[in-house]
Structure 1
Amino acid sequence: MPGRMNWPRSFAPRLALAMAAVVLVASVCGAGWGWFRAQSALRQQLDLVLAAEAEGLIRDYETYGLAGLAEATRLYSRRQGPIFLSLSAPDGRLIAGGVPVAPVTLRGFATLPRAGEGSQIRALGALLPGGVNLLVATELAPVDRAAAALAWTPPIAGGAAALLALALGFWLARRLERRLDDVSLAARAVMAGDLTQRLPQSGRGDEFDRLAATVNAMLARIETLVAELRQVTDDIAHDLRSPLSRLRQRLELAAAAARDPAADSATLDAAIDELDGILATFAALLRIARAEAGAGRDAFAELDLSALVEGVVEAYAPVVEDAGRTLAAEVAPGVRLTGSAPLLRQALANLLDNALAHGAGTIRVTLAPDGSLSVADEGPGIPEAERDNVQKRFYRLDRSRGTPGTGLGLALVAAIARLHGGALSLAPGPGGRGLTVRLRARG
């Protein structure tokens, strides 16, 4: 039901929570990696400082000797700076300075525990001429604190980003919920039977608007199909009621009358004719339904449309002549397409039947090189306002249905044209008289 949001089940808050969790996990991982890299970089810099100090002291030793180096060490130690220095004799006796670690003879860099404390010392040892040991050291705690301070930056930024993601997620969720409420209301109205309802659009042209436009087009098509279905149902009931009523009445009269073989035979023949007409109607409906459903497209094959049209024209020529009419054909040679020969033959036959039944004068069949097929006559034609309607099933200009026919001929032709990727169009005949029916099939 539209209204209050169910936050635990709403997609956007769950997505926001997931994004916040990912950001936090990434921040923690980044903090660990950042701490490791920062500590490594700072310790490398610290090693460079220790090496520079040791190099300077070694130059003092080379210039002023052991006494000068010892004096420099004592003076340096009194300043209580971050660097510790010590000089020790070969037997381990301390000559000057002091480093807060257990006595050790060191060559190169090493990390040593500070005496009596849990902290660590970074030290560099060097052996001077005469066996004198030089030790340069410094505390590691400031370096570790700086690395830790740098490592906390990603989690703090990640936490802020996670909070921002949550806030943005809940805000988006609320906006999304309002739009979905409108969609839900429209959908419920459609489900309740109001096919005129359409999904609302914000006018911004975003993804939701594009989706709503697609769904609205689908709803419009469904509305049209339902309206056509209702109309078809009414037309079927209307068109079949009369022949079935006549058939029943004829059979009742025959059953009540005295048996007469000749009369009974005539009654049965008439009944069969009526049933043939009803069966023909259902057969036409079935062919239209199959064409609209795309049945038979898998059996499409390349065919010679020119030969097909010439064959149908040749078959209809005697029928047109018997009706006192003239049939003229202009067929472009070598026109080929991929399609169903039986269906295209049926479509052309329907157009010729319509021209014979409702047209007048000369019937002209034209197949253009581009594959468009037209049948034109010089009859009364069809009003422009009715040209789309006559392509619907059971639609007839004679609303009283006093003339023969079912109103399925052009509907079947239109369905066959759509099956072949084309369309059916109606226009005035030559010179503005009569009717031209043009079928374009792309195959």
Structure 2
Amino acid sequence: MRLPGPRSFAPRVALLVGVVVLVTSFLGAGWGWLRAQEALRRQLDLVLAADAEGLLRDYETYGLRGLADAAAVYARRGGPLRVLLLAPNGHPIAGRLPGAPARLRGFATLSPQEGESRLRALGAILPDGSNLIVATDLALVDRAATALAWTPPIAGGLAALLALVLGFLVARRLERRLAGISTAARAVMAGDLARRLPESGTGDEFDRLADTINAMLARIEALVAEVRQVTDDVAHDLRSPLSRLRQRLEAALARPRAAEADAAMLEGAVAELDQILATFAALLRIARTEAGAGREGFVPVDLSALVEGVAEVYGPVAEEAGRALRAEVAPGQAIPGSAALLRQAVANLLDNALGHGGGTVHVVLRPGPVLSVADEGPGVPPEERGRVLRRFYRLDRSRNTPGTGLGLALVAAVARLHGGQVTLGEGPGGRGLGVTLDLRGEAASSAPALPGAAPGS
């Protein structure tokens, strides 16, 4: 696999991190060198003070001659400690110390001739005016401070190198994941709506993002398929009535004018056009509902009173059709929503039940709220229940029964608008069709309680 390019995000971040680490390391090295040198110098000053104190005790015990002998001994040893004893006039009495001043009191750093290392010196004035100078080489201090100072750059360099390596490894992994996502996205743009983003199975952020996008793609695929289906159904369901209307008008134009026959033909044409306009109105209502139009105008709706009102209106309709309508409504059920759309949904359910049902239609509103409308008719086969919620889908493929096939589609759209869902099952006793409108969504659960609401509603 090719290496990640210079425009890859991870290598650029790794390079930036490496540069920052190196710069910080060198800045830290300079600060560490100064701090280490200062600390080691303080320790060296303590050692010089202790050595000077020992020589001063020799002076107190043996006098100036004993101190001179001690200085001569240090000079013969050639160790790191150097001792110089100067007379009051600045002439050397014993010892040798290059670069020493004629008189020194306290600590000082001496710079001897070129090629020799610097010295740290401590001078003390004796009671007789002589000057005792004790010094030691600063090379050890400088080497130790330098060794300590190089530790941060070395560690920083290793960290920067590790950051670059990890950056390229991460970049390669990212490029593999993004290449799969890009390939799938191009396939979707080319028209393959069934294509999904690959997932690694690790459950990481990319998998969670891919899962979300895949769910979105599945929804888009379903919507596109639904639009295609609607287009086909519109062409199929509206072509027939328009063709019939054209044929009737052509036939009327071809025959001699007769007032009664023309009036009957025009009444039939108007009825046909009303049915077509009703179909378009239903489609527009479903489209607006699925687009969420009207959600901003939601108000608390007394669903119990709404269902009771619709049931009262449809009671006489059921009696005229030779059927019975039984309603059981829990009081005080309220949700925020659109009263007009909810009323239309309940009316569509009752229309569907009365149009296809048996002897009795059952309407039940339970706390939740959950509305169920069941009939005792032939029902809907289980494999068809998911399809009857689509626009224009009808069990009667020949379209001989009245209706447009939009009633349950509108109910499903109203349910989604109110945060609920529609499910289909069997009616009472395993017969007929039972349609459940479950409105216990997030929007429904946040509804304010109406006065007189039943406990638990």
Q: TM-score, normalised by structure 1?
A: 0.92
For residues 311 and 131 of structure 1, the distance between their equivalents in structure 2, rounded to whole angstroms, comes to 122
Q: Tell me the percent identity.
A: 71
Using the TM superposition, give the Cα deviation of residue 15 of structure 1 relative to its aligned residue in structure 2, in angstroms.
2.7
Aligned to 1:201: 199
Aligned to 2:395: 397
Using the TM superposition, give the Cα deviation of residue 116 of structure 1 relative to its aligned residue in structure 2, in angstroms.
4.9
Aligned to 1:28: 26
1:252 aligned partner, one-letter code: E
Using the TM superposition, give the Cα deviation of residue 248 of structure 1 relative to its aligned residue in structure 2, in angstroms.
1.8
Of stretches 422-431 and 20-29 in structure 1, the one that deviates more from structure 2 is 20-29
Aligned to 1:424: 422
Return the match for 1:173 from 149, 153, 171. Answer: 171
Aligned to 1:228: 226
Return the match for 1:138 from 130, 133, 136. Answer: 136
Return the match for 1:219 from 217, 220, 242. Answer: 217
- Deviation digits for residues 323-358 of structure 1 (CA, Å, limit 9, x no counterpart): 222111111111122222111111111101111111
Change (3 A) 1:428 1:113: same
- Deviation digits for residues 281-336 of structure 1 (CA, Å, limit 9, x no counterpart): 22222222222222222111222221121122222222222222211111111112
Gaps of 5+ in 1: none
For residues 267 and 102 of structure 2, the distance between their equivalents in structure 1, rounded to whole angstroms, comes to 128
Using the TM superposition, give the Cα deviation of residue 194 of structure 1 relative to its aligned residue in structure 2, in angstroms.
2.1
Aligned with 2:434: secondary structure?
strand
For residues 359 and 133 of structure 2, the distance between their equivalents in structure 1, rounded to whole angstroms, comes to 122
Aligned to 1:298: 296
Is contact 2:193-2:217 (8 Å) kept? yes
Aligned to 1:162: 160
Aligned to 2:52: 54
Using the TM superposition, give the Cα deviation of residue 234 of structure 1 relative to its aligned residue in structure 2, in angstroms.
0.7
Change (3 A) 1:272 1:59: farther
Aligned to 2:339: 341
1:43 aligned partner, one-letter code: R
Aligned to 1:182: 180
1:422 aligned partner, one-letter code: G
Aligned with 1:294: secondary structure?
coil
For residues 295 and 59 of structure 1, the distance between their equivalents in structure 2, rounded to whole angstroms, comes to 102
The aligned runs of 1:262-301 (5 Å cut-off) are 262-301=260-299
Using the TM superposition, give the Cα deviation of residue 428 of structure 1 relative to its aligned residue in structure 2, in angstroms.
1.0
Change (3 A) 1:108 1:290: farther
Of stretches 21-30 and 404-413 in structure 1, the one that deviates more from structure 2 is 21-30
2:305 is equivalent to residue 307 of structure 1: yes
Aligned to 2:449: none
Aligned to 1:128: 126
Using the TM superposition, give the Cα deviation of residue 99 of structure 1 relative to its aligned residue in structure 2, in angstroms.
2.4
Change (3 A) 1:235 1:118: farther
Aligned with 2:65: secondary structure?
helix
For residues 308 and 11 of structure 1, the distance between their equivalents in structure 2, rounded to whole angstroms, comes to 59
Is contact 2:4-2:175 (8 Å) kept? no
Aligned to 2:376: 378
Is contact 1:20-1:165 (8 Å) kept? yes
Using the TM superposition, give the Cα deviation of residue 391 of structure 1 relative to its aligned residue in structure 2, in angstroms.
1.0
Is contact 2:4-2:171 (8 Å) kept? no
Using the TM superposition, give the Cα deviation of residue 109 of structure 1 relative to its aligned residue in structure 2, in angstroms.
2.1
Aligned with 1:124: secondary structure?
strand
The aligned runs of 1:17-166 (5 Å cut-off) are 17-116=15-114, 119-166=117-164
Using the TM superposition, give the Cα deviation of residue 118 of structure 1 relative to its aligned residue in structure 2, in angstroms.
7.5
For residues 222 and 118 of structure 1, the distance between their equivalents in structure 2, rounded to whole angstroms, comes to 83
Is contact 1:27-1:154 (8 Å) kept? yes
1:151 aligned partner, one-letter code: A
Q: TM-score, normalised by structure 2?
A: 0.90
Is contact 1:5-1:177 (8 Å) kept? no
Of stretches 366-375 and 38-47 in structure 1, the one that deviates more from structure 2 is 38-47
Aligned with 1:196: secondary structure?
coil
Using the TM superposition, give the Cα deviation of residue 89 of structure 1 relative to its aligned residue in structure 2, in angstroms.
3.0
Aligned to 1:239: 237
Change (3 A) 1:362 1:25: same
Across the aligned residues of Structure 1 and Structure 2, the Cα RMSD in angstroms comes to 2.2
Is contact 1:102-1:115 (8 Å) kept? no
1:160 aligned partner, one-letter code: L
1:64 aligned partner, one-letter code: Y
For residues 288 and 65 of structure 1, the distance between their equivalents in structure 2, rounded to whole angstroms, comes to 117
Is contact 2:368-2:439 (8 Å) kept? no
Using the TM superposition, give the Cα deviation of residue 278 of structure 1 relative to its aligned residue in structure 2, in angstroms.
1.7
Is contact 1:70-1:96 (8 Å) kept? yes
Aligned with 2:109: secondary structure?
strand
- Deviation digits for residues 225-256 of structure 1 (CA, Å, limit 9, x no counterpart): 22222111111110111111122222223333
For residues 427 and 324 of structure 1, the distance between their equivalents in structure 2, rounded to whole angstroms, comes to 24
Gaps of 5+ in 2: 445-457
Aligned with 2:6: secondary structure?
helix
Return the match for 1:360 from 333, 358, 361. Answer: 358
For residues 300 and 30 of structure 2, the distance between their equivalents in structure 1, rounded to whole angstroms, comes to 69
1:441 aligned partner, one-letter code: L
Aligned with 1:328: secondary structure?
strand
How many residues are matched? Answer: 441
Of stretches 113-122 and 375-384 in structure 1, the one that deviates more from structure 2 is 113-122
For residues 21 and 380 of structure 1, the distance between their equivalents in structure 2, rounded to whole angstroms, comes to 77
Using the TM superposition, give the Cα deviation of residue 213 of structure 1 relative to its aligned residue in structure 2, in angstroms.
2.7
Of stretches 412-421 and 233-242 in structure 1, the one that deviates more from structure 2 is 412-421
For residues 268 and 55 of structure 1, the distance between their equivalents in structure 2, rounded to whole angstroms, comes to 132
2:325 is equivalent to residue 327 of structure 1: yes
Using the TM superposition, give the Cα deviation of residue 119 of structure 1 relative to its aligned residue in structure 2, in angstroms.
4.7
